Structure 1
Amino acid sequence: MTYLLSLPNAGEPNNIQLNAGESIFLLGANGAGKSSLMHHFYLQHHGNAERITAHRQMWFQNAAVGISPAERVNIDTSLRQSDININSRYRDDYAPYRSNIGVSDLMAEENRRARAITELLTRGDLDAISKETAKSSPVARINNLFSVANLPISVAIDGRDNLVARRATTGAEYSIQQLSDGERNALIIAAMVLSAKPGRLILIDEPERHLHRSIIAPFLSMLLAERNDCAFVVSTHDLHLPLDTSATKTLLVRGCSYSGEHPVRWEADLFLPGEALDRQIQEDILGARKKILFIEGDEVGSMDLALYSVLFPGFSVVAKRRCKDVIQATKGITQSEELHWINAHGLIDGDSRSADEIQSLNQDKVHTLPLYSVESVYYHSTIIFAIAEKMSQILPGDAQLMGRKAISAALDVLKQSAAGLAERSAERALRNEWERNAPTMNDVRAGVPFERRLNVEQVVEQHKLLLNEFVQNRDWDGICGRFNIKKSGIKKTIANALGFTDSKHYEAAAIKILNADDGMLARTQALVGGVPA
């Protein structure tokens, strides 16, 4: 699905194309016309669009949230008729219904799924059951978002068919009416987005209301990734949200002209992913210093981002595709006088780097993971046994035995693929060695002769010997910390041994444990070398 957003602009652009899976952030000072522009975009596609307004009601009239199918159709018709009025930019005559409707739709889908599974069980259709349960339920998806975003709550449907909240630390159950303003805001936004029909244009105004910076960044990033079948327009006063969601367009709204109460033209600039924002907008919007941690990984919805968001709660974690990008982004900010308000750090994979290289990188505030990669953290024995402890409360068996069996299964698989694993790690080491010694631009300009020979056979043999030693000693953490297990099949083996269908669900469980257990969080932070100052 592709949406063309018409923008009456004093300059360029006049039209913005937005595809499913893409997002655009609107930034600007108070009074610049962002809400008017959001309504303008909505009017162009109101038949296929959903609005989450800045003036939304963030409380529930009753503890029981439920709407019948007939009521749902009538409410939807009324909402859409109201939303095309010009005064809906600042007034909502259906605010109580709007806060309930997303939650009600979410519960309806959860109940539909439960009924479908029950019916399939009755018929004994195991294949269909497997397909239905392979997809996370709506409530599970919301709880995963809360976990990644460091929100200490979960939700569930109780025996009276009401959606209730649970405190992560105690398990105490209470009405969703009693959630904090920020927690209710997160629930309402998540419910409305997750229950939207496929292919919709979803407009979210000020998602950051009542939510701390360390929460809204991972929450919104993962929420957009969950609905990559939809297109998003997000209006915010928080400059850092598009920075945290780096694969996004940014529209800087500078002003708006009106004819009476009707907006007729905007002054705006479009920035594509990776382009810099100007200083004037920074000064209009920002009011405090900022801590950013650049990491290696996919830019949207990655488990790298989820893990580091939990491990470094005081930072906005921004994923960069390559190690080189992390180094350049960190140095670019730390060496810029204009960006003095940002306290930037980088964190890159260990990749068997030399002590001299690590020291040089540290001087530029680029820290090196004391393990090979992020997988080394997720699949370290500390995490494996913590997950085994949790799974032993669900599945029959001793937690320590489950953890040992998972590691033993991984070592057995490794014996069949040890040569390939050693060769991949050797290739990475050779590549790093070459790049460390490659000519600089100054060398090129000066015509400095360059010649470099690498003993490939020797490096490969060294890696094979080291890996063989770890395997013989059954030193799982040694293997995990020094070799790249990402493409070895070992991740799935460990996940299966602990009762998970795949590594993604295993890693989500790890995030949940780190959110709930401060002691485990501290031990895992120590694994990655502590938190940058």
Structure 2
Amino acid sequence: MELTLPKKLNASQPITLETKGLVVIGVNGAGKSSFGKCLLDQYGSLAKKISGIHALFINNNVEEPISEEENEFSRLQSMITERLFMPRLSEYEKLILHLQSEEFEAAVNYKEACKVNPDLLPPVTKIDRIQSIWEKIFPHNRLVRKSGFIELASGSRDSDSYKAERMSDGEKLVFYLIGAVLCTPLNSLLIIEEPETLLHNSIKNLLWDEIEAMRPDCTYVYLTHDIDFAASRPDSKRIWIRSYDADTRIWDYELIESNESFPEEVYMEILGSRKPILFIEGTDTNSIDSRLYPLIFPDYMVKPMGGCQKVIETTKAFGQLKDFHNLESKGIVDRDRRTQGEITYLREQHIFVPNVAEVENLLMLEEVIKTVAHRLMKDPENVFNQVKENVIKLFEKDLESQVILHAKHLVRKKLETTVDRKITTVEQLAEHVEGIQQNIHVQDIYTNIKNEFSLYVETGDYKNILRVYNQKGMLPQSRLCNICGISNKESYLNLIISILKENKEDADAIRSAIKESLGI
């Protein structure tokens, strides 16, 4: 369907989309409902609004024309009469009555048709189709039809049934949504308000997949603030509404385009927060990165993206879209033996690299150790000096393996930059490879790194040791926990987290030390 969207801010021409689905997403109050109402008015009889949550309850706010002569007393009298003699029904109850009426009519017609053709198969009614999908959504329950009403039973065939009025709101909602869509005219434009409401995550996507497959002729417009649901409609277009001016009836919205570097669901989640964004490594919410950085940068939305390359790609992609979202974005990646040239390049892309080899090393910064020691009523200088001495000894013991690690990385980077991409023949390639050794002096690289690391040991350069020492077991092996009287590394991290959450003077000291390590 070619869908003409409501008026967009700063757009000279109406915007049209050729699509069978549109997801309209935005925060509460952004103007999604007004957007849907505009489409309803625009498409008239072709459009139908479906609101599951409103359908379950009687709407007492129905607007009815009132003559100027009608006084408050007569209005009240009319309302009482209506409630007593013509009680209102919810949309859900109206649907049940409509379906039962159709079921009865189909049964009568079938009975009459069988008099002429006894072998005639029974018709498939709307309730049959609803039942098929409903029982797929709730596989442990089944719908039982009896004369004049519908009952609900558990999955076992010999179980007792009970009236459908005792369904949970979620079960009623699923029944209503399937039935409401099924009863719409051919090729309808369906405005679905909050399609995820009252639905568990495990069923909401399956339900709408089934409904869309049941009525492929319809065009679906979903009004939602649920990021996961919005991302679950892969064949739909998506727009993000920033705001709505009710006086001019103009919306500020943008079409969200996906790319490999920046998945739509991530984009929508970030837009919904309206905070500046900080992309970090890791996926586990219990990782040190995920637990530490949100407290170091409380004004940012911290989003783990997996590996370092994903952080780099996403930060760049988000920065390129700044004209749309107007949000500040940064990234943090582990040092991973990067050269100063690499770090400088990343910083130009607003991607920061801590001045420590591992994220665990942030917990070993001098100011962090001293702050924790002071909190535990230990002598900060004494605690730090003991830890520093132990770390230097550990580094000296692992010196050779650390030198090799750094030398391998540097050689690898030099190989990447040395290979000539303009080579066109195998002879040129063979000649080039033979010449690489002349350009990469492995022994010199090894010697220089070893001399540098040995100097750190000799001078007790604790800060630089943290910068180059890739050893995840350094914190427990340094005996920091024992010296502070803490049981283990997890308890030490939890104490730092609790200090940061207090947001007092000690938190400022830890936060400043970690930000300084990041060069911020």
* TM-score when normalising by structure 1: 0.45
Query: Could you say which structure has the larger radius of gyration?
Result: 2
TM-score, normalised to structure 2, is 0.46
